[in-house]
Amino acid sequence: MNFGGRSQASTCLVLVGYTPAQTLAALDFCNRLFFWVPRRQRIMTANCPDLLRCNGIVRRLRGWRLTLGSNLQHEFSGWQEGLDVLRPEMGDGFGAILLNDTVNSHRNFSLPRRAAFLASTLQSPASGLVGFTNRLAGGAPFTIDGEISRGWISTYLLYLGAEALSRVGHRVWYPELNEICVPGGADPGTFFSEAVSENLRSHLCRWLFERGWYGSESLRDSNAAAFTIKARSIVNEILLSIRARHPVCGLTDPFEQYPRLGQWDSRLKRWRMTLADFGSGRSGREAASASGTEWRLR
């Protein structure tokens, strides 16, 4: 069977799971939205062994592949480990849907968001890279590892076509380069190296350490190790987008491809915010301001 010109046999799916509740929801999400991917070509990397003690997860994994993850670097090590299991059987001519178990928890993955991503994925050429994009203020260009870009794809859910995956040598995890870009430590001034442009360093420091992210805290000795791992995952996210993008086509954002679906999603988001904040005493403007960085969540 073909979908949008794409054979079922040409696509795999790799889900990385951490917590039982979120993994259950993510498995339901995958089994419904990506029903057209054969189950033998779906794999879950369990970054927490406790997931295998949950009967609901085991039932939903029927027909899937399963591998235990090292959790060395969050979803990126997990995706790589999953791809490495599938590749010997699938060969090199396949694309991949990659996601983690936060896909419908940190964000409300609305009907228009699902429709836009699915349509963009099914219509994407083999060279395509599909996902919801992030940009610096004003779409300013930035550099990382000497490569210039104006945006990157959030990796809570993305699709790499066969040629895009081949462009990165079927490698989606770059531990050595992540360490070069993020030496870490408790000093924000040296937390990122000069391999990351100043404007991107400033943006990421504000996001990580100045309440830009729901897990933001001031950087100190006690949390430096955890923030280093988080920052290296963000850098890996950006590097993957830069390396996998097509030199002409670039990145495909589903809401830029289908702007009316994006407008519908924005209206639904404002409505949810209004309902959630109705009893909190915050005005609609305050609620909108408080959620202004939601797009950055992964």
In a domain, 280, yes or no: no
Q: Token pair of 213, please?
A: 């992210």
Do 151 and 45 reside in the same domain of the chain?
yes
What local confidence, expressed as pLDDT, does residue 294 receive? 30
| Residues 69 and 38 both lie in one domain | yes
Burial grade of 236 (CB within 10 A; 0-12, 13-18, 19 or more): buried
**pLDDT of the residue at 87:** 96
Within 8 A by CB and 6+ apart from 140, the residues are 150, 199
- Provide the token pair at 117: 């991503």
In a domain, 197, yes or no: yes
Say what the pLDDT of residue 273 is.
Answer: 80
Q: Which residue range is the domain that position 228 belongs to?
A: 177-233
Q: Are 130 and 121 in contact (CB under 8 A)?
A: yes
Query: Could you read off the pLDDT of 38-57 as tens digits, one per residue?
Result: 999 999 999 999 999 999 99
**Packing angle between helix 111-123 and helix 259-276, nearest 10 degrees?**
150
Same domain, 84 and 160: yes
Q: What is the CATH number of the domain that holds 32?
A: 3.90.550.10
Below-70 pLDDT ranges, the chain: 1-9, 106-107, 276-298
Q: What pLDDT, on a 0 to 100 scale, did the predictor assign at position 275? A: 80
Model pTM? Answer: 0.89
Q: Are residues 59 and 113 in the same domain?
A: yes
Same domain, 130 and 94: yes
The answer to whether residues 209 and 120 belong to one domain is: no
Is residue 268 a part of any domain in this protein?
no
Residue 274's contacts (CB-CB under 8 Å, 6 or more residues apart) are: 284, 287
**Res 279: pLDDT:** 54
pLDDT at 295: 29
Asked, for residue 273, whether it belongs to a domain, the answer is no
User: 85 with 131, same domain?
Assistant: yes
Residue 105 lies in a domain: yes
Amino acid at 106: H
Q: How many CB atoms lie within 10 A of CB 61?
A: 23
Report DSSP letters for the chain, one per residue.
-EETTEEGGGEEEEEEE-SHHHHHHHHHHHHHHTTTS-GGGEEEEESSGGGGG-HHHHHHTTT-EEEE---TTHHHHHHHHHHHHHHHHH-SS-EEEEEETTTTTTS---HHHHHHHHHHHHH--TT-EEEEEE--GGG--EEETTEEES-EEEEEEEEE-HHHHHHTTT----HHHHHHH----S-HHHHS-TTB-HHHHHHHHHHHHTTSSTT-----TTTHHHHHHHHHHHHHHHHHHHHHSBTTTB-B-HHHHSHHHHHHHHHHHHHHHHHHTTTTT--HHHHHHHTTTGGG--
Indicate whether 55 and 136 sit together in one domain: yes
Same domain (yes/no): 104, 52:
yes
Which among 36, 27, 43 is positioned nearest to 9, based on CA atoms? 36
In a domain, 127, yes or no: yes
Tell me: do 244 and 220 sit in the same domain. Answer: no
Q: How many domains does the chain have?
A: 2
- Give the per-residue pLDDT at 109: 87
> pLDDT value at position 272?
82
What are the tens digits of pLDDT across the range 273-297? Answer: 888 666 555 544 444 444 433 322 2
CA atoms within 13 A on the CB side of 292: 10
Burial of 157 (0-12, 13-18, 19+ CB in 10 A): buried
- Residue 186 sits in the same domain as residue 89: no
Whether 140 is covered by a domain: the verdict is: yes
**Within-domain flag for 115:** yes
Same domain membership, residue 150 and residue 12: yes
